[in-house]
Amino acid sequence: MTSHLAQRCPRCANGRPTSARFCHRCGWDYLALRPTTGDRMASYVVCPAERVRSVNVVTALLPLSTGRGVHAYQCALALTVAIAVAAAVAGLVPFAVVTAAAAVPVVVTIYLYDVNEWDDEPLPVVLACLVSSGLLGAATSWVLGAEPIGSGEVVRLGVVAPLLALALSLIGPLWLASRPRFDDMIDALTFGTGAGAAYAAGETVMTHRHVFDGPAGRRANAELWVTIVANAAIVKPIVYAAAVAIAAAGFSGIGIGYEGFRRRFAAAAAMAIAGMVVYTLGVAVLGDLDVDRAASSALALAWGLVVAAVLIVVLRTQLHLGILEAGLLAAQGRPSRHEAVAGASCGECEMPLAPLALFCSACGTSARAMAKSRQRHNTGRSTIARGVR
Amino acid sequence: MTPPGPRIRPGLVILIAVVVVVALGALGHLAGAVLDEEPELIFAILAHL
């Protein structure tokens, strides 16, 4: 109970009120079970009620959604995916393929508007992340389908395709992250999410374009289409979105401005490449198994779920540790543009934020993990970015 | 003064997502049906545009 009485944070040495649960400057959890580590893995900085190692897709890929908004996005994702799967069961294959491809990109687009992630500049964000990535996904899928590149299907579909997908999906998010307006790690992560999901959508529609040509493409059994549509609706976009988001967040880095192609990006890109290749290689190998097509497709779906879960945990850990590291550096004097001013309040629990707070001292939510309009209000700035304090 | 937050109410997020996804799916299905039975109609529309 000593920590209750301490007047200074043991991690950053800033003063604190005795009633605070978390340090408002560095995010330290005063009630942490392992006080020698400041990583507070039991309390995710975006949503402190969750553990960091959780598979909640919404608080990983859409980190500015808070409170009831998280449940709304979970419901929206679940419903849109359920509509696609139900259409596949009913034999409405073209409808199912399009809804499966559109489900995640549509929800991400709504989120971008909802939290004003595009900071009142929707056009460059929509064009760079969603439209260009979707078109690149469709075009690449068409080229790879027409012109074999590797020595066999597995090399072409399992190695070349994911590497191209990652590289092409990153163009838009990296361009946006290099602009002062969008140089925050959460911005890059979210744009990576949108670009990855849009690329997956373009690839899905192009891969299954035969279903639009005539009845021949729709003769496959319902079980097969259910697994294909479930994969296209939720697993593939999440794998692509998480991988691109990991790499984009590594490029952006933790402080003001972007870090660029440095060690953090190299480590993140390696993880993203590994995730993409492991996923697509697994799907290609399982698709080649000498079993019923529906069974191999179900195995690929299960494999994709495992890879998606791992990538989501990696992304959450990267975001969590990055925000904590940035908080500690700011507490030690590095400039930050997220420090709260008088009248600021937490977007998660609505409690007042202490002056210069980077975290809510009551619930531990990061001041960066709130809607952009709330961030502007809390920091007293007309815009969060612009590369200035 | 109430601090600003998300622009869309949670229930509306769900409604918009479902309506947009269903509308896109219906367009895809319609395109499939047209390509299936009258593919020249697509080219006529494109030529008209």
For A71, name the nearest residue in chain B, comparing CA atoms only: B10
CA angle centred on B30, ends B27 and B32, rounded to 5°:
110
pTM listed for this prediction: 0.92
Return the beta strands (E) in chain A as ranges: none
d(CA A57, CA A239) in angstroms, rounded, equals 11
Compute the count of residue pairs across chains A and B with CB atoms less than 8 Å apart.
Answer: 112
CA angle centred on A353, ends A347 and A357, rounded to 5°:
110
Closest chain B C-alpha to A204 CA, distance in angstroms: 13
Of the candidates B13, B26, B31, the beta carbon closest to that of A212 is on B31
ipTM above 0.95, yes or no: no
CA distances from A202 to A40, A100, B16, B42 (A): 39, 11, 21, 20
How many C-beta atoms surround the C-beta of residue A122 within 10 A?
Answer: 14
d(CA A177, CA A208) in angstroms, rounded, equals 33
d(CA A223, CA A170) in angstroms, rounded, equals 34
Q: Does B5 touch chain A (CB under 8 A)?
A: yes
Q: Do B32 and A107 touch (CB under 8 A)?
A: no
The residue of A114, A345, A382 whose CB has the most chain B CBs within 10 angstroms, and thus the best one to mutate to test that interface, is A114
Residues A116-157: tens digit of each pLDDT: 999 888 999 999 999 999 999 999 998 887 554 444 677 777
Residues A223-282: tens digit of each pLDDT: 889 999 999 999 999 999 999 999 999 999 998 889 999 999 999 999 999 999 999 999
Q: Does B23 touch chain A (CB under 8 A)?
A: no
d(CA A109, CA A135) in angstroms, rounded, equals 16
Residue-level pLDDT, tens digit, chain A, 389 residues: 444 445 788 888 888 888 889 999 999 888 875 555 557 888 999 999 999 999 999 999 999 998 889 999 999 999 999 999 999 999 899 999 999 999 999 999 999 999 999 988 899 999 999 999 999 999 999 888 755 444 467 777 788 899 999 999 999 999 999 999 998 999 999 999 999 999 999 999 999 888 887 664 555 678 889 999 999 999 999 999 999 999 999 999 998 889 999 999 999 999 999 999 999 999 888 877 778 888 888 999 999 999 999 999 999 999 999 999 999 999 888 888 899 999 999 999 999 999 999 999 999 999 999 999 999 999 987 655 544 33
Specify which residues A308 forms β-bridges with: none
Q: Do A99 and B36 touch (CB under 8 A)?
A: no
Q: Does B37 touch chain A (CB under 8 A)?
A: no
d(CA A26, CA A36) in angstroms, rounded, equals 14
